[in-house]
Structure 1
Amino acid sequence: MTAHPTFCRVCYHLCGAVVEVDDEGRAVSMTGDRDNPLYRGYGCMKGRASPSVHNSPNRLLQSMKRQPDNSFAPIDVELAMDEIAAKLTAILERDGPRAIASYHGTGIVAHSLAMAGTHSFMEAIQSPMVFSNESIDQPGKSVAKGLHGMWQAPGNGWIDPQAILIIGMNPLVSHNGFPFGNPAAWINDRLAKGTQLIVIDPRRTETARKATQFVQPLPGHDAAILAAMVRVIIDEELYDCAFVAKNTRGLAELRTALAEFSPEAVAEAAGIGAADLVLAARTYASARRGYAICGTGPSMSGSSTLVEYLRMCVETLCGHYMREGEVLPVAGVTMAPPSAKAQATPPFPAWGDSFGGHATRVRGLGAYFAGSAPMPTAALPEEILLPGQGQVRAFINCAGNPVLAWPDQNKTIEALSSLEVSVALDVKMTPSAALADYVIACKQHLETPGISYLSEGLAFYSTGVGVAESFGQYTPAIVAPPPGSQVIEEWEFFYGLCKRMGREFTMHGLNGTTFDVDLDDRPDTDTDTLLEQFMAGSRIPLAELKRYPHGAVFPDENARVLPQDEGWEGRLELADADMMADLRAYSLASSNDGAGFTFRLISRRMRHTFNSISHDPATRGLPYNPAFMHPDDMTAHDLTEGSVISITSRYGSIPGVVRVDAALRPGLISMSHGYGGGPDDDADLFEKGSPTSRLSGLDDEAERYSGQPRMSGIPVNIAPSDFPLANKGVVKHLTTSGRDWE
């Protein structure tokens, strides 16, 4: 055996790891790296299962092509690219660039250049139809920045917070919400020092069990709860008066819009105590340093943009931003040294016509402020199905699983099945890949070099995500692909298409640079060479980063918040017109509207999965996603653990395996996203689970900014199911230790 330091790329947390490789060159184990200065041996079951996933018999080792009888047969990847390029060229010439769309999912975390490669190809063919997973999870984080404006320095609570406010997020399982590293050790240390941890969630999550204050509302009331907290902070003058007076506008208008959001009214609607709501506001506002973060729950059960905007208002009122002279916690490693100033960037166009992006043909939706993938994914199924000029006829899915991830599974399957050309880049035959015409077999993460740029870059996505130190790491490829396989990296596929289609392949680096990849000199174009160009302008050059195989922290005491520019007049907006209109239109009564339905289905995370990734026996988790219920609800409906029920919404029905969870509020069913398959796969319930996306609809409370519909807090009914239990291994699954699946 030989041991190789690396970092895990199953999810965004990028834990330091050590991989053991046998004398045949196979990865046989992966454990936490105790010599990594940030993670110090921490790792999770998903990462530890990486060798098993790499060596899985279910792995794709050859690219596949759909046959006339709808079966798949291996195809040489070079021939596949020849055929795909020819078909895309014909569509471009006939229908124009808009007829080709791309999507990248959370699987791109495995490869540092996957997302950049996708965008480079789409830019090369001049198609604006670039979609990503962000617009089906928490798109409001991006839009709210434009509506509110942004402070040009980081938040002040990321290093040593006096108070943390977490709404609908479970950092101890999702690994977002606490600084990257060992989340349990970090929060335990902070709590021992007196940090106040306020958790608002319909379920007493693993994180909520550590809270100094826990509020357990009905789902879908997060915007109202934040509005009531803002009202308390204003009315009791708990805000940072000097900061607000100098750096904001709209305080009076904001307070006027909050007239209906008294703590008493909101508490009654949300099913919580008014005193608890007020205490949460007072506790958080009294802290000089703190941060607040909202997760998938709030985003998927209401307007993600309104929730995130009100969260930003709370942060701004409390003045939880770094000020002039303070040392920046992250001074750039793979990225350029930051330039942070103690001043506000005023609001800027973030959605709709004012954003200046491209419009869809669907429900008035258009591009929004979301980096290089600004199109709303909720519009894509209809863009594929809607005839006429601009109809999407070809689709490239890079490391995503739309059948399980996108809302409205029925519409998604119909759309993906109707395409003229469909390509999936993946490591296994997912339910989405099974609908494609070509499936390009890709390398696994231990087979490619990479850099930890996402741990820095996520800080630009949201407060409360990413590293809290100037940490960086490079990893070489640890193992070679299996003998006889033909797998490639995602960027190689897009490079190959550009070469065949006569298009330049220009990649965008991390620091605003661009570089052309020579189409005539492929032997000298490898991932390491591209990573060096990708990192151009970084504070720590790639060659230096490579000197630290276990990763390193590169502090810079000179990286400080700069003073405000002379004459600067930018202010943060507390009363954006669209947000105030949404508040005035918000009805506390209608937020409980679920006429004809008895339960609400809410989302949850489980330790052994990451969205639709890591469903592998080696993670020691259940292969399906249970329908967790409160014991009182189970008794009332004569259900026991292992009962199979039918769960039905306005849009569809799925089977579910009941399990008890006393941490839930009664009246709720809690299930994880990203399981199951299409309707024909429901018979494999105990092997694959159930797709909660079938219970959502594109028109269900869809917000006007990103098009994101309701995907959590869904009104549902349940009924006993006649699902056959024979030969499904029920006893084995029901005796699995709870620690394995919580």
Structure 2
Amino acid sequence: MSRTVNSFCRACHACCGVLVDIEKGVPIRVRGDKENPLFQGFCCIKGQNYAAQRNSPNRLWYSQKRQPDGSYLPIPVDQAIDEIAVKLTSLIKEHGARSVAAYIGTFGSTSSSANSVMSGAWMTAIGSPMTFTSNTIDQPGKFVAAALFGRWMAPSHNFLQAQATLLIGMNPLVSMSGGIPHTNPGRHLTDALKRGMKLIVIDPRRSETARRAQIHLQPKPGADIPILAAMLQFIIDNELYDAEFVADNTTGLSSLRAALEVYTPEVVTELSGLDYEQITEAAREFATAGSGVATAGTGPNMSGNTTLLEYLVLCLNTLCGRWLRAGEQVTEPATLSEFVQPIAQAQSPSPEFAYGFGEQLRVRNLSSTAAGLPTAALPDEILLPGEGQVKALISHGGNPVSIWPDQVKAIESIRALELSVQIDLTMSTTARESDYVIAVRHPLEMPGITLTHEFMNSYAPGFGTTAPWAQYSPAVVEPPEDSDLLEDWQFFYRLAQRMELQLEATPILWHGTSGIEPWTVDMTHEPTTDDIFEFVTKAGRVSLEEVKQYPAGAIFADPAVIVAPKEANWEGRLDLANNEMMSNLMRSVHSGETKGAYPFRLVSRRQINVLNSSWHDNPGQVRGDSHNPAFMHPLDMEALELNNGMGISLSSEHGTISAVVKADKNLRRGVISMSHGWGGLPEQDQAFRDIGSNTGKLISNDSHYERYTGLPRMSNIPVAVKLLNESSSSPPNSL
């Protein structure tokens, strides 16, 4: 019997509304819902392959336990939890709670809004501060910079009203995240350009988005700081900034201008490889447009100076007054998420909660940050002997072996653990290194709410969409009767039961402190997923019960949310010239590098068909291209006598990988572009044509790292290129 049901995709934070065709209890097709009022039928290739992911021959239907010989055998999930509880109890008794760490990847939050609530409650219950997330290996500077800068207590301009949009190292037509609304970015961009919006893109690659820009600056990789410095200097000197807004709500304008003095036209031209007039033209277009925001992406954030980059972006948006004012309507107010009345006033900086607080790590003088504990330091916390050494790791929603920087050290650290638990849908690279692999339900097999979709709006200026939309989906199919699966959160709840712990759940917020009282979870009767959803949405503008009345989701525009005026005697101001950031800004003028033995720069790139390390084995997504090519400019290939499809070695000062070279005329010369998250374990290095290569092997997590967040340089990596002798048994040494 066939039927079609409404749901939404949870492959990423976008939560696209979809229709799922089901035959005999099995999903056979997922497609965009043309009747959806927000997405209007849009669903990317990842969502279109959602049924294939759920039905994959590589899908785990039973949890696995590693055997003494390294093989894996199925184990009943409750037995696995029993054994894990015994081991954890012993480790905590002998080494303390700090010896247990948790890592939450992207899918930990996107697959279910219940997961982080319960995993966080479990870590709190055992008393361990060692929770790490993917936030600190993507764009941690957004959180740290906001703590140093302060926060406008109302949203930034929405894309619908933008007269200019500035994208720094972003390609939202592919990434579906930031800069252009993720609810069908192609349509949104087409409509915006028709109404006259100016699109300005800064990117060493003429990306799919840059090709549609009126202004595309194609600089050297890693030149975003001098470019932004030049733009800010030009805007200030030519009085193109919003003088009234700046005077009423900021401090530090003159100090900012003084720090920018070192960025002369000659210096900026040298560092960026651009004509200075190109930069000032872009600055004038953005500043005089009147509305629209600047947003930076993953690549620039991974280039070595994530916090300063994001701080300058905040300076640019603030100088140009790109924040909503009193009396203006909020385009995308909170729906299910906790509602806080927007107010047209500045919340002063809280530098004490930017970095250098909370849990002190044992390496590189790192500690907690506004984005969380630095994940790049976790392998060292595992490998470094002594008091506080991490002995056990539970990973869910992520794939550390493929995603953490410095893959060699990441694998060494996973292998050094006394207990490693991977919660996963498949035998990922991390699963194949773990003691236990807990098999879990696919999102189509469990309820969901679009909370992560809403959180994007408060992530940073330029993120989010164009209407207050929300959806609840029940599980649309059940797993096979003979499978033995649970939801991620259930693992933590049942583990707490075995360890006789009391869980106290708290909501997860991007900013501020929740007004919801902690929930003392009943440890005798297991809650349902909907019970957890009720808890995390209890302070929403719209109740979960009301959202459930609309199976296809709905836009909840009423009542309208209007920005309130500044409170009487309010004294908060945004800081345009934090002392540490200004010192960093002046130091960064000396950050130019000579070519030396590594004349190329390797930069990251997104792919529309996969996200990070996920579903590289799904034929419908990879479409015959099961590796991540090393894209080079054709003239660079010609100079090295390389042709499409040849094997090459890429060597950094830290390591070497093999890759398949492919021409891309849209790159700036001297730049190589590869996607991260591919490849396998070291013994699979020679299979790079089949599974790709992991760029993390080129990265060292204890050199060229930012001192605030610990983020090593994961893009703009100096590399050398050499034709690969594929008859040899191992990649050649770097030149």
Provide TM-score, normalisation by structure 1. Answer: 0.95
Per-residue deviation, 1:534: 2.1
Partner of 1:720: 723
Q: What SS is found at the alignment partner of 2:539?
A: coil
| Amino acid of the structure 2 residue aligned with 1:41 | G
Partner of 1:637: 640
| Amino acid of the structure 2 residue aligned with 1:365 | L
Distance 2:675 2:343 in 1: 41
| Amino acid of the structure 2 residue aligned with 1:469 | A
Partner of 1:219: 221
Say if 1:351 and 1:380 are closer, same or farther in 2 by CA, change over 3 A.
farther
Partner of 1:734: none
Q: 2:408 aligns with which of 407, 410, 430?
A: 410
Would you say the 8 A contact 2:173–2:208 is kept in 1?
Answer: yes
Would you say the 8 A contact 2:648–2:722 is kept in 1?
Answer: yes
Q: Which moved more, 1:154-163 or 1:386-395?
A: 154-163
Per-residue deviation, 1:180: 2.9
Distance 1:623 1:203 in 2: 23
- Cα distance per residue 1:393-413 (max 9 Å; x no partner): 111111111111111111111
Partner of 2:47: 47
Q: Does 1:140 align with 2:141?
A: yes
Q: What SS is found at the alignment partner of 2:247?
A: helix
- The unaligned stretches of length 5 or more in structure 2 are 509-513, 730-735
Say if 1:678 and 1:512 are closer, same or farther in 2 by CA, change over 3 A.
farther
The equivalences for 1:11-26 within 5 A come to 11-22=12-23, 24-26=24-26
Would you say the 8 A contact 1:331–1:556 is kept in 2?
Answer: no
Partner of 1:394: 392
Q: What SS is found at the alignment partner of 2:358?
A: coil
Partner of 2:483: 485
Distance 1:17 1:267 in 2: 48
Q: 2:566 aligns with which of 561, 564, 567?
A: 564
Distance 1:721 1:620 in 2: 24
Q: Does 1:276 align with 2:274?
A: no
Q: 2:521 aligns with which of 517, 521, 533?
A: 517
- Cα distance per residue 1:95-145 (max 9 Å; x no partner): 111110000111221222122222111111111101000100100000000
Partner of 2:33: 33
The equivalences for 1:471-620 within 5 A come to 471-509=469-507, 512-513=515-516, 514-522=518-526, 525-588=527-590, 590-615=591-616, 616-620=618-622
Partner of 2:511: none
Per-residue deviation, 1:664: 0.3
Distance 1:123 1:512 in 2: 19
Q: 2:711 aligns with which of 694, 708, 711?
A: 708
Would you say the 8 A contact 2:137–2:711 is kept in 1?
Answer: yes
Partner of 1:102: 102
Distance 2:353 2:532 in 1: 33
- The unaligned stretches of length 5 or more in structure 1 are 727-742
Per-residue deviation, 1:725: 12
Partner of 2:701: 698
| Amino acid of the structure 1 residue aligned with 2:405 | P
| Amino acid of the structure 1 residue aligned with 2:639 | A
Distance 2:271 2:377 in 1: 32
Distance 1:26 1:217 in 2: 49
Partner of 1:72: 72
Per-residue deviation, 1:224: 1.4
Distance 1:566 1:628 in 2: 57
Partner of 2:669: 666
Distance 2:67 2:388 in 1: 28
Partner of 2:426: 428
Would you say the 8 A contact 1:352–1:366 is kept in 2?
Answer: no
- Cα distance per residue 1:31-72 (max 9 Å; x no partner): 001111110100111111111111111111110111111111
- Cα distance per residue 1:304-331 (max 9 Å; x no partner): 0000000000011001110001111122
Partner of 1:649: 652
Q: Does 1:91 align with 2:91?
A: yes
Partner of 2:631: 628
| Amino acid of the structure 2 residue aligned with 1:608 | N
* Percent identity for Structure 1 against Structure 2: 45
Distance 1:725 1:112 in 2: 48
Per-residue deviation, 1:659: 0.8
Per-residue deviation, 1:264: 3.6
Q: What SS is found at the alignment partner of 2:201?
A: strand
Would you say the 8 A contact 1:173–1:606 is kept in 2?
Answer: yes
| Amino acid of the structure 1 residue aligned with 2:323 | Y
Distance 2:537 2:635 in 1: 55
Q: 2:379 aligns with which of 354, 378, 381?
A: 381
Q: 1:448 aligns with which of 446, 449, 454?
A: 446
The equivalences for 1:106-125 within 5 A come to 106-108=106-108, 109-125=110-126
Would you say the 8 A contact 1:322–1:342 is kept in 2?
Answer: yes
Distance 1:75 1:267 in 2: 61
Q: How many residues align?
A: 718
Q: What SS is found at the alignment partner of 1:673?
A: coil
Q: What SS is found at the alignment partner of 1:715?
A: strand
Per-residue deviation, 1:512: 3.9
Would you say the 8 A contact 1:329–1:468 is kept in 2?
Answer: yes
| Amino acid of the structure 2 residue aligned with 1:497 | L
| Amino acid of the structure 1 residue aligned with 2:72 | F
Distance 1:80 1:585 in 2: 52
| Amino acid of the structure 1 residue aligned with 2:42 | Y
Partner of 1:736: none
Partner of 2:678: 675
Partner of 1:368: 369
Q: Does 1:59 align with 2:59?
A: yes
Per-residue deviation, 1:503: 0.8
Would you say the 8 A contact 1:176–1:464 is kept in 2?
Answer: no
Per-residue deviation, 1:623: 1.1
Distance 1:295 1:37 in 2: 28
Distance 2:25 2:727 in 1: 44
Distance 2:71 2:128 in 1: 31
- Cα distance per residue 1:158-217 (max 9 Å; x no partner): 331011000001000000121231110101100011101000000000000110100000
Provide TM-score, normalisation by structure 2. Answer: 0.96
The equivalences for 1:299-318 within 5 A come to 299-318=301-320
Distance 2:269 2:642 in 1: 31
Distance 2:689 2:426 in 1: 20
Per-residue deviation, 1:594: 4.1
Would you say the 8 A contact 2:147–2:354 is kept in 1?
Answer: no
Q: What SS is found at the alignment partner of 2:367?
A: coil
Distance 1:392 1:512 in 2: 33
Per-residue deviation, 1:549: 1.0
Distance 1:15 1:519 in 2: 34
Distance 1:92 1:248 in 2: 48
Would you say the 8 A contact 2:263–2:589 is kept in 1?
Answer: no
Distance 2:681 2:703 in 1: 21
Per-residue deviation, 1:558: 3.8
Distance 2:727 2:332 in 1: 55
| Amino acid of the structure 1 residue aligned with 2:501 | R
Per-residue deviation, 1:724: 5.3
Q: 1:469 aligns with which of 445, 449, 467?
A: 467
Q: Which moved more, 1:332-341 or 1:673-682?
A: 332-341
| Amino acid of the structure 1 residue aligned with 2:65 | K
- Cα distance per residue 1:527-576 (max 9 Å; x no partner): 12221222112121111111111110011354111111111111100110
Distance 2:246 2:154 in 1: 16
Distance 2:245 2:263 in 1: 24
